[in-house]
Amino acid sequence: MSNPSAVKTDSTQMQRATDPGLARVLHWLFEMSLAIKAVLTTAEALTGLGLLLTPNPLVARLRYFLTHYEIAENSNDTMAQWTQLAVSQFPVSTQNFYAYYLMFHGGLKVLMVVMLWMKILWAYPAAMVVLSGFVSYQLYEFIHTGSPMLLLLAVFDLFMSGLIWQEYNALKAKLTPA
């Protein structure tokens, strides 16, 4: 009654899942993704801290310093005009929101990366839940803003979540007695 081709497909999938070469590549991808995530989230948390500690007029002066040469050279420079507009509409309350958001978002992800590097077993499912929440928010914002960067971040976080799932299963298999 069983389909021989279905049995063969199942055994092929199991062989791929237990292939030491594939497992090594997936583990390497997991480690590299953690390293990338650690760098990006640390920079994010530090940016939030910098925004919180930097007075608003200093941010405006930084904007001027970064854009005045471009505006003088080309008054139609889109990036410089966008930067000037963004900072001119950057009141203290908005600055504080971004500061706390970046500190929370970056800090939470740094904590997640540290716990994954320490191989704390319960952190793997928790990290997947956290990443799922961030992906949901990034997709929501992408729908409203159309920013391709948000879509790229969502794809990276989904990829990272898949690697976490793979690493979690491999770690559980190592810890479970045969």
| Alpha-carbon gap, residue 29 to 159, rounded angstroms | 10
Amino acid (1-letter code) at residue 142: F
Residue 3 is given by DSSP the state: -
- How do the pLDDT tens digits run along the chain, 178 residues long? 445 544 444 444 444 456 778 888 988 999 998 999 899 999 999 999 988 888 877 877 777 777 777 767 777 777 767 766 766 666 677 778 888 988 998 999 899 999 999 999 999 999 999 999 989 998 998 898 888 888 888 998 899 999 999 999 999 988 887 6
Q: What is the pTM of this model?
A: 0.67
Q: CA-CA distances (angstroms) from residue 18 to 12, 23, 24, 121, 155?
A: 10, 7, 10, 20, 26
pLDDT score recorded for residue 92: 72
Q: CA-CA distances (angstroms) from residue 4 to 1, 11, 14, 17, 18?
A: 9, 11, 15, 20, 21
pLDDT score recorded for residue 87: 65
Q: Please say whether the beta carbons of 128 and 161 come within 8 A.
A: yes
Torsion of CA 59, 55, 36, 143, to 10 degrees: -70
CA end-to-end span of the chain: 31
Give residue limits of the domains in the chain: 20-175
**At which residue do the structure tokens 């904007």 appear?**
63
| Alpha-carbon gap, residue 156 to 167, rounded angstroms | 16
**Tokens matching residue 56:** 């608003």
Residue 176 is given by DSSP the state: S
